Amino acid sequence: MGNFYKDNDDIRFLFRHIDQGQLASMIEEGFRFAEEFDYAPANAEEAVQNYDLVLDALGELSADFIAPRAEDVDREGNTLNEDGSVTRAKGMTEALEKLAQAEVMGFTLPHRFGGLNFPNLMYSMATEMISRADASLMNVFGLQGIAETIDAFASEEIKQEYLPPFAAGKVTGAMVLTEPDAGSDLQVIKLKAFQDDKGNWFLNGVKRFITNGCGDVLLVLSRSEPDRAGGLGLSLFVCEPGPTVHIRRLEDKLGIHGSPTCEIFFDNTPCKLIGERKRGLAPYVATLMNGARIGIAAQSMGIAEAAYRIARDYAASREQFGVAIEKLPAVRDMLIDMKIALEAGRALLYDTSRVVDLAVGYNRQVESNPPEDKAELKALKNKARAYKRYAGLLTPMSKYFCSEMCNAVAYDAIQVLGGSGYMRDYASERHARDARITTIYEGTSQLQVVAAVRGVCSGTAEKYLADLVALQYAPEVKDLLETLAEGRELLRGAIEFTKERGNDYMDLYGRALTDIAMDLIMGYLLCGQASSKVQMDVAVAPGANKDNGETIPMTQRKAMIARRFVEKNAPKIKALTDLIRQGDKSTFSDYDALVGPVQEA
Amino acid sequence: MAYHCVVLAKQVPDTQRITGQVMNDDGTVNRSALPAIFNPEDLNALELALQIKDRFGGRVTVVTMGLPGATRILRDSLYRGADDAILVTDRRCAASDTLATSYILSRAVKKLEADIVLCGRQAIDGDTAQVGPQLAEKLDLTQITYVEALEELEDRQITVRRNIGNGWQQVKTSLPVLLTVTGEANAPRVAAAKQLMKQKKARTRLEVAQEIQEINPDAVEAEREELTASRCATLESQDLLIKHWDLDDLEADLTWCGRNGSPTKVHRIQSVVLAAKESKDVEPTEEGITDMIHELIQDKIIA
């Protein structure tokens, strides 16, 4: 009997370290739902207890039911039948049934539609555990943003029709966005949406690379304004599979084999408009994708956690040169770096999720329950705006960092296993294949950087860092805070240098600037964890100096992690700022000569 | 067609997680050293009952006999989707063997008018597999043991597949029926989120009384009783009071219960301690194999 929640000290620590009560009070709107719904919490303490209980159940399901099926799901994949229907891998169907029974398919949906009304932070933790068990299952479990989008923007009638079956796990959905010629650039979408003379909407055209395109509820971004090019000509529609929706092809992919990736032809498919016309891309799909990016960051965490654990176990049991290979400095270093990268990523992702919850919560207060006092209202509006900006900065950062980290960890995990890791006998090769998509879909790393670097250069990162600086820290990390302060100074200089050279230069060095800002943010977050009030003892590995069963306080361990993280990144930050300040623009001037012409076939 | 399924469950020490302090010096099990869990095959019985409810409608009631602490597995049953849970507890049940247990349980099941009674094949502490069959006899119910799949259920006719060791057998009978369910029958579902959120507050009257006692240690008894009664009334109105039956509620014949009703006498308990190392290297040579066979014959492991 395993449990991916209980066996993960870091998740359990962060569960207590982050103030869940604040999120709960906000999302439960002063716990007013308890009167109407017998399962809704009556106070913050009860809400947090609920979160804990549900994660515990999901942790058990992930470990005992989902994980043992992942290998077969990967081998079996999905089948496109003659009649156009798609048959999922057996383990996938079984897992979806169990998730429905566990009542976790409406994780963040409001109570009134049968949802749990949990914060995004809880959803990130849950998504991580599911992904650790089977990354490809996340592509269905993690698509709850579709229901959230309907909840946020659709009419009451559409909500009543679609949301209860979502929450009950009776239906799954798909975000139907990508087309053959519209991938990263969704503004050029061609799929036509048109009305008959009675005003009914229909869809016509082709969509490609659609995750779970064989799902029951399809959110389709399409051109409703034929005369209008660009994003403003797009609207969002909802439709269901039927005789006019043809799955033409299933992609044969490198990884996430359990997740069906479909090409869909819409042959005048009846559909319903979500919200208003012309708002399809912004704000509807933009909001949807921000949620999905956090989902992919959580998926990345899960894959990385699974990959790390195999490597860690293997390094302890595999003997070469007469010792377990974990005794060898090169292997030992890899394992420590993997583990620290994991915890740094988790720190960033969970704080991002918390910030998103606060952004949503403050905004909801402004809209539905504004204070009468004008000064109070103004303060609330400022908070809502600030957290929205933080969310806009941290979301692409989390997606970028966690997905790249997950690839690095999955890669190094195979390295630790050596030849065995390259074989299919271990899940490591599957983790590496599953990891590869995470830096690509829901916006490539390059696009995340484009989004994040604007927040880095506009002052949002500095404000967020200032918030972090203002927190209370333990004396043990005082010198680290000084190192981080030096890093902030270096970043400020690099930003100034960049701004003098314009937007092209900012994009050219976007990755370097974003990397510096992220390292500083994670440095502060880890120092914060080392200063946590949470008292929790964690086991250390038995070895030369430690007995079996020995424990240390988590804060002490986190201080070690913060130290290694901050001190190893300090020279990297220095090097990156030097690089930025060299002012080199050869990428623009020398490209043609450096890469040479495209060869004729 | 809806059915009332009654599931009999037992809280057992987790014998699959044996640690050093588990055995008392006299060779008996130190129950307090082992975590108490839901007997695994009883979870399979519960899952089968829940599947019947999902497909055909009806209700699932879970009954356990045990110490008040066994309420935990009743709450667990509610989390997973059971509609009702009943704790049978009474000091006079102590030291019941399988005969007394099945008698007491039969009194409880009689009160419930079950269409299908489901038990786990056996419990991992005693491993007798006797309670299910004895219960069927006492209730004069058709019994089908070792059930590994429900094939059909229609018009009060049930068809199941039972494991007979070297194969399987398909059995059809009419309701009411008692099934004992094996671990192969299904993979039990986990707790449902909304049930967890709601039923975490479910309590028996005994638990309420104890909680009141802990909160108000100095209150006089009458006051505590009043508080308990009022708290229980609130819980009952919220459908959160777990029923508790004692032997009087069951109108049980006390000569059939507890030590009086238990003819099983433990003759001797042997604590088998393996002194030698668990493994031994045998050289893959003629000589090594001959030595090993010789040793096995000497130890009377092979003839």
Lowest mean pLDDT among A169-178, A545-554, B164-173: A545-554
- Omega before residue A396 within 30° of 0, cis: no
Q: How far is A87 from chain B (nearest CA, A)?
A: 22
Mean pLDDT of chain A: 96
Residue A267 and residue A300 in one domain: no
Classify residue B84: in a domain, yes or no: yes
pLDDT interval class at A1 (50, 70, 90): confident
Which of A351, A397, A391, A408 has the alpha carbon at shortest distance from A519? A397
pLDDT interval class at B278 (50, 70, 90): low
- Which CATH number covers residue A511? 1.20.120.470
Residue A108 and residue A138 in one domain: yes
A492-513: b (≥16 Cβ within 10 Å) or e: eebbebbeeeeeebbbbbbbbb
Of chain B, the percentage scoring pLDDT greater than 70 comes to: 95
Classify residue A197: in a domain, yes or no: yes
Of chain A, the percentage scoring pLDDT greater than 70 comes to: 100
Residue A408 and residue A479 in one domain: no
Axis-axis angle for helices A145-153, A286-317 (nearest 10) = 160
Classify residue B29: in a domain, yes or no: yes
Classify residue B90: in a domain, yes or no: yes
Classify residue A597: in a domain, yes or no: no
pLDDT interval class at B280 (50, 70, 90): confident
| Stretch A147-173: mean pLDDT | 96
Residue A376 and residue A473 in one domain: no
Residue A324 and residue A417 in one domain: yes
- Which CATH number covers residue A238? 2.40.110.10
Q: End of a domain among A402, A437, A472?
A: A437
Q: Convert the pLDDT of each residue in A284-325 to its tens digit.
A: 999 999 999 999 999 999 999 999 999 999 999 999 999 999
- Which of B:227-246 have CB within 8 Å of A? 238
pLDDT tops 90 at residue B299: no
| Stretch B250-278: mean pLDDT | 81
- Which CATH number covers residue B38? 3.40.50.620
Classify residue B286: in a domain, yes or no: no
Give counts: helices (H), strands (E), chain B: 8, 12
Q: Which residue has the tokens 């492991």?
A: B301
Q: How far is B238 from chain A (nearest CA, A)?
A: 8
| Stretch A47-66: mean pLDDT | 97
* Residue A45 touches partner B, C-beta closer than 8 Å: no
Q: From chain A, pick out residues whose CB is under 8 angstroms from the CB of B55.
A: none
Find the closest chain A residue to B81 by CA distance. A101
DSSP B78-113: HHHT-SEEEEE--GGGTT--HHHHHHHHHHHHHTT-
Residue A314 and residue A236 in one domain: no
Of A49, A61, A94, nearest to B190 by CB-CB distance is A61
Residue A275 and residue A288 in one domain: no
**Per-residue pLDDT, B20:** 64
Residue A425 and residue A460 in one domain: no
CA angle A141, A278, A383 (to 5 degrees): 65
pLDDT interval class at B49 (50, 70, 90): very high
| Stretch A532-539: mean pLDDT | 95
Q: Convert the pLDDT of each residue in B153-181 to its tens digit.
A: 999 999 999 999 899 999 999 999 999 99
d(Cα B5, Cα B81) in Å, to the nearest integer? 12
Mean pLDDT of chain B: 90
Of chain A, the percentage scoring pLDDT greater than 90 comes to: 96
Q: Convert the pLDDT of each residue in A495-524 to its tens digit.
A: 999 999 999 999 999 999 999 999 999 999
Q: How far is B234 from chain A (nearest CA, A)?
A: 13
pLDDT interval class at B124 (50, 70, 90): confident
Contact A98 B187 (CB under 8 A): yes
Of B81, B191, B238, nearest to A57 by CB-CB distance is B191
Classify residue B192: in a domain, yes or no: yes
Domain holding A145, by residue range, is 9-167+282-437
Quote the number of domains for chain B: 1
Quote the number of domains for chain A: 3
**Per-residue pLDDT, B143:** 96
pLDDT tops 70 at residue B277: no
**Per-residue pLDDT, B28:** 67
| Stretch B38-52: mean pLDDT | 96
- Radius of gyration of the CA atoms of chain B, in A: 23
pTM of the model: 0.92
- Provide the 8-state DSSP code for A282: I
**Per-residue pLDDT, A544:** 62
pLDDT tops 80 at residue B273: no
**Per-residue pLDDT, B14:** 85
* Residue A101 touches partner B, C-beta closer than 8 Å: yes
pLDDT interval class at B276 (50, 70, 90): low
Classify residue B211: in a domain, yes or no: no
Contact A102 B193 (CB under 8 A): yes
Domain holding B70, by residue range, is 3-202+240-256
Classify residue A596: in a domain, yes or no: no
Residue A192 and residue A93 in one domain: no
pLDDT interval class at A553 (50, 70, 90): very high
Of A38, A54, A65, nearest to B196 by CB-CB distance is A54
Of B189, B200, B238, nearest to A101 by CB-CB distance is B189
d(Cα B198, Cα A50) in Å, to the nearest integer? 9
Residues in a beta bridge with A552? A538
d(Cα A463, Cα A563) in Å, to the nearest integer? 24
Residue A498 and residue A562 in one domain: yes
Q: Convert the pLDDT of each residue in A457-480 to its tens digit.
A: 999 999 999 999 999 999 999 999
* Residue A102 touches partner B, C-beta closer than 8 Å: yes
- Of chain A, the end-to-end C-alpha distance in Å amounts to 58
Q: How far is A89 from chain B (nearest CA, A)?
A: 17
Classify residue B264: in a domain, yes or no: no
| Stretch A485-497: mean pLDDT | 98
Classify residue A593: in a domain, yes or no: no
Pairing type for strands B3-9 and B116-120 reads parallel
Residue A292 and residue A392 in one domain: yes
pLDDT interval class at A545 (50, 70, 90): low
- Which CATH number covers residue A367? 1.20.140.10
| Stretch A104-133: mean pLDDT | 97
Residue A387 and residue A506 in one domain: no
d(Cα A375, Cα B208) in Å, to the nearest integer? 48
pLDDT interval class at B1 (50, 70, 90): confident
Classify residue B47: in a domain, yes or no: yes
Give the burial class of A53: count Cβ atoms within 10 A of its Cβ; 0-12 exposed, 13-18 middle, 19 or more buried. Answer: middle
